[in-house]
Amino acid sequence: MTLSSLSSHELDFIDDDEFHEECGVVGIWTTQDAASLTALGLHALQHRGQEASGIVTYDGNQFHTHRGLGLVGEVFDDPRVIASLPGGMGIGHNRYATTGETQLRNVQPLYGDFEFGGFAVAHNGNLTNAQLLKQSLVRRGCLFQSSTDSEVFIHLIAISLYSNVIDRFIDAIKQVQGAYSLVALSKDMLIAARDPLGVRPLILGKLPYSQDENSWVVASETCALSSMGADFVRDIEPGEVIIIDHDGVRSIHPFADNTSSRFCIFEYVYFARPDSVIENKSVYMARKKIGAELAKESHVEADVVVPVPDSGVPAAIGYAEASNIPFELGIIRSHYIGRTFIEPTDQIRNLGVKLKHATNRAVINGKRVILIDDSIVRGTTSKKIVEMVRAAGATEVHLRIASPPTQHSCFYGIDTPAEEKLLAHTHSIDEMCKLIGADSLGFVSADGLYRALQEDKRNNQNPQYCDACFTGDYPIPLTDHDMQLVKSK
């Protein structure tokens, strides 16, 4: 692999102080060119995973697969690749590894030949009992070809005693714990499913311009629909299984009444693309409202509000509007560092933040600055950005964060450090402020975050979202993690 195609893990000398996106999935049913549309959708979902990408299509006779390491534009840069994926049905996947190393064998969609024919699956999320299930499956003779938890679905479907694809699929998802949004493809149907708590997003859309009126799209976010000119139909519900075939769309609710919404609140804070709409909420407007709540809760007198780009921009706009302080782009981000040709020496590691961000001295020099960022992970990036802003002439630097302190690891599909490496887990806010070097530090409260999302406040008895990274309230059992803790004692 060349330096020009380094994965995000291999570039962690630059971005190891950020939360990393999970994965993105796309499914297309009965259009004339499923591969091209799937690739367009994956381009729009590139923010959800930059390590690898893959597409599987079916042309009515056989399945076709292309997977590779790198960005969508790199994996599918040759028109001959798309031409090698004929068919009107397809699924695609962008990967950021939360389980399993970065190798081609872990790139999704995963495909298997079953007695009922070919079957491909793509998964966004993380299973919390994957290791326990894998041990059981290996004892039964299953041979795993990858180290990703997503392969568990393939083997559970393979050994199921049910006769048809849907019953096997439902049998499989009833055995897993964790967060999952799935798209799967057989020769007869496209299947989409969300876990019973709907932690990860998944939406249904329609292609209005297709010659076939029965043309549908499933994707992680609405921004994928926009890229291919599809219309939004609705969010797929928690615990719902959607089956799309030649008869149209039908819905199954295999978990009966054991479903409720605990959607990942961090999608609104950081992960989803700002132009997406999730659960009837504009992500962009939600982030602006979070910024406004932040201004109400921890305002400080200053001359200018400056976002840490790009994720801090909407919240900074909301903060500026609520506080009547001018908004300025005091930090400019380079969008090309992910493809650096520079060898990552120790000196470059120390300059990593400066490679990614540059200060706009004209709007910072001599000013009291309020810096707005989405979160603090390890704190190393925040410290360097505060130093950069001071070096650009700021007289005061007040750091405001558009989420509560991140004190706990995520086990549901977001790549986060271990708790002991999260700054907020080991330090008080005052200690964090001193370490980072800001004049003051403030976070939006959990209730403020909920108010921004049109809730009165967090219901401690029945939280409306999954906010485990802030509260430690994990709504899904952490079976594998708990087993490891027991073994380590």
Active-site residue set: 23
Strands 203-206 and 216-219: antiparallel
Q: For the CA atoms of 422, 428, 434, 435, what is the dihedral angle to 10 degrees?
A: -20
* Torsion angle (degrees, nearest 10) of CA 61, 24, 121, 246: -50
Q: Using CA atoms in the order 209, 210, 213, 218, what is the torsion angle rounded to 10 degrees?
A: -90
> CA 455 to CA 261: how far, in whole Å?
14
- Cβ neighbours around 119 below 10 Å, total: 25
Angle at 186 between CA 183 and CA 188, to 5 degrees: 120
10 Å Cβ neighbour count for 140? 9
Q: Which residues contact 29 (CB under 8 A, 6 or more apart)?
A: 88, 89, 190, 214, 215, 216, 217, 244
Shortest CA distance to 180 belongs to which of 156, 159, 158? 156
Identify the sign of the CA torsion 62, 105, 180, 291.
Answer: negative
Query: DSSP for 83-150?
Result: HTS-SSEEEEEEE--SSS-SSGGGPSSEEEEETTEEEEEEEEEEESSHHHHHHHHHHTT-----SSTT
Where are any strands of DSSP class E within 213-267?
A: 216-219, 231-235, 241-245, 248-252, 263-264
